[in-house]
Chain A
Amino acid sequence: MLLSKKNKEVLFNPFSKDNPVLVQILGICSTLAVTVNLEPAIVMGISVTAVLAFSNVIISLIRNTIPTTIRIIVQLVVVAALVIIVQQFLVAYDYDVSKQLSVFIGLIITNCILMGRLEAFAMSNKPWPAFLDGIGNGLGYAIILVIVAFFRELLGSGTILGYQVIPQWCYDHGYMNNGLMILPPMALIVVACLIWVHRAHNKDLQEE
């Protein structure tokens, strides 16, 4: 009975109905910055998921002992410690990608999704639901990152995960990669298109 009905909602709602990027419009900064290529986007998604899940658990465990006045500082310390672990792990095992992601792994600390989930969920829930909530929101964020990066890498560089997928004869006949896709403004427009499609399918989310 690890996944009761309520826990299922906690885990799966962030994928669509309660998506941190598409519905809550959180974490846009890194969505624009790390989605030029698919590989860094996947690594970023996994990193955020890991940090979010474990910081949710830790904060949830000590939620009754944290004095309310300094809770933000405590949350930041926990997140910062986890981010440093992730960062060192990446430097050790995937140096190239960690170079590509550069400062953005460190900036997970300031990702609005983390503070939002810690404040809104982990501070008032038991560790197991908090863990599921972290996994759900992290993966909800990662899915959007991967979709955006897929289109940007495909149209901007003609590759997927570094492999050329647009055949050479297209280039020989005058096809060109779209330079605007590499630039951050286009990421914003891709995200906007995703929101457009998402709202069109979820009529209850449409604003008047």
Chain B
Amino acid sequence: MKALKNFMDKISPTFHEGGKLAKLQSVYDGMETFLFTPNTTSRSGVHIHDANDMKRTMSTVIVALIPCLLFGMYNVGLQHYLALGTAEHTGWFTMWLFGLLAMLPVIIVSYVVGLGIEFISAQIHHKEIQEGYLVTGLLIPLIVPINTPLWMTAIAVAFAVIFAKEVFGGTGMNIFNVALVARAFLFFSYPSKMSGDLAFVKTSSALGFGGGTVSDAFSGATPLGQVAANVGDTLQPLHDVAGNAIGTMDAFLGTIAGSPGETSMVCILIGAFILLLTGVASWRVMGSVFAGGLVMGFIAHACATPTYPASMLDPLAQLCYGGFAFAAVFMATDPVTGARTHTGQYIYGFLIGVIAILIRVYNGGYPEGAMLAVLLMNAFAPLIDHCVVSANINRRLKRASRTAKE
């Protein structure tokens, strides 16, 4: 550590005003603060000193995502070998390794493209590099279907970072959740790659590893995709990639087809526990998203019709299937794009839950609505906050004028 510090100090003049590589100052600063705590702290004025700075907040979210990431890798392998029909003869570690090799390129592409743009942007504007992309870069591989070609992911990441983040002023200034904008871009740009049978199962080998190319003779639709395509008065039994019946319990454990991070309710709940324990995420938002989803799920279930097959799912299944739980825990709780007032957070979260189920059930074109619900409410979050704040001001004004009269 000492040697590294000495090295960083030694090369420091090269990167500062007058040095040879002064153009790369933001890169140097970024690396230095990444490795060491900055040695300048404020000496005057009143500042609240808290160990929980942005870097630690981001790291906590990364830690909370690790269960989802590890299980997602296993599940990617599981779905691949299920589709091949050789799942019984394959060990869990082989599956996990396959998933690791399948997801690694996506993670690398996400970080290289995203951080590359952030570095360039920071350099152009002579600002420090911010840690904001650390979480986004890991969220994107978790919510993008595993079979999406890498170049599409790269374009989506570039689009999201430039148009959803940098044009608004970078980390902390964005209106929309950057990871979800990347997914929405893919969703609307390349719909055939983002839904249907082939999107959620890796059909080719991963970096030369795996059981080989999968033939088309399997049905890789997600449970929600199957529900949306349901015909008849009752819900047909759901099945996994190999054709075996599955239920809500499988969705709870996470051994179903879906984007890598979203399938396992258990891992998401572990992540939620870490986020709530450390106080990084707002329990108001998280709780009210689930409450909204449950309420709308009950309403939809109460007036279930075969016209809208998803309305026949019971409310708890609604929460377990698809990306609902992942969106509730990791997307809706983004402190930058969500509501900030406490009352506002209840309204914001509740509406996300309601709209997600509303889209899922009553819009035939979209079997999953969590992404669109969060993006829509991102746009409304400032309005909700404004209403809450002005209502508060009015209430206090009234009280003040009343006491003044007395």
A residues near B, CB below 8 A? Answer: 174, 176, 178-181, 183, 189
Pick the residue among B149, B151, B188, B193 that contacts A180 (CB under 8 A): B188
A183 to B192, CA, bound (A): 16
Instruction: Give every chain A residue within 8 A of B188 (Cβ-Cβ).
Output: 179-180, 183
18 contacting pairs across A/B (C-beta < 8 A): A174-B149, A174-B151, A176-B152, A176-B190, A176-B192, A176-B193, A178-B189, A178-B190, A179-B188, A179-B189, A179-B190, A179-B191, A180-B185, A180-B188, A180-B189, A181-B189, A183-B188, A189-B163
Residues of chain A with a CB closer than 8 A to B152's CB: 176
What's the minimum C-beta distance from B405 to chain A, rounded to whole angstroms?
45
For window 134-159 of B, CB contacts with A under 8 Å fall at 149, 151-152
User: When chains A and B are docked, how far (Å) is the Cα of A178 from the Cα of B158?
Assistant: 14
Min Cβ gap B107→A in Å is 20
Q: Which residues of B contact A189 (CB under 8 A)?
A: 163
The complex places the Cα of A176 from the Cα of B190 at a distance, in Å, of 7
* List of B residues within 8 angstroms of A183 by Cβ: 188
| Chain A residues whose CB sits within 8 angstroms of the CB of B190 once the complex forms | 176, 178-179
Please report the C-alpha to C-alpha distance between residue A182 and residue B192 in the assembled complex, in whole angstroms. 15
Q: Shortest beta-carbon distance, B237 to chain A, in Å?
A: 33
Q: Name A183's closest neighbour in chain B (CB-CB).
A: B188
A179 to B189, CA, bound (A): 4
**With a CB–CB cut-off of 8 A, which chain B residues contact A174?**
149, 151
Complex Cα gap A189–B163 (Å): 9
Min CB distance B369 to A, Å, is 18
Q: How far is the CB of A75 from chain B (nearest CB, A)?
A: 37
* 15 additional A-B residue pairs with CB within 8 Å, beyond A179-B190, A183-B188, A189-B163: A174-B149, A174-B151, A176-B152, A176-B190, A176-B192, A176-B193, A178-B189, A178-B190, A179-B188, A179-B189, A179-B191, A180-B185, A180-B188, A180-B189, A181-B189
For residues 184 through 242 of chain B, which have their beta carbon under 8 Å from a beta carbon of chain A? Answer: 185, 188-193
**Chain A residues closer than 8 Å to B149, beta-carbon distance:** 174
How far, in Å, is A169 (CB) from chain B's closest CB?
A: 15
* Chain B, residue nearest A178 (CB): B189
A174 to B155, CA, bound (A): 14
- In whole angstroms, what is the CA distance A139 to B189 when docked? 31
CB proximity of B152 to chain A, nearest CB, Å: 8
**Cβ-closest chain A residue relative to B188:** A180
Q: How far is the CA of A183 from the CA of B187 in the complex (A)?
A: 12
State how many angstroms separate the Cβ of B4 from the closest Cβ of chain A.
Answer: 40
Report Cα–Cα, A179/B188, bound state, in Å. 6
**Smallest CB separation, A88 vs chain B (Å):** 37
- Closest A residue by C-beta to B150: A174
Complex interface: chain B residues within 8 A of A176 (CB): 152, 190, 192-193
Q: What is the chain A residue whose CB lies nearest that of B152?
A: A176
B-side contacts of A179, CB under 8 Å: 188-191
Using Cβ atoms and an 8 Å threshold, which residues of chain B touch A180?
A: 185, 188-189
| Distance between Cα atoms of A159 and B152 in the complex (Å) | 20
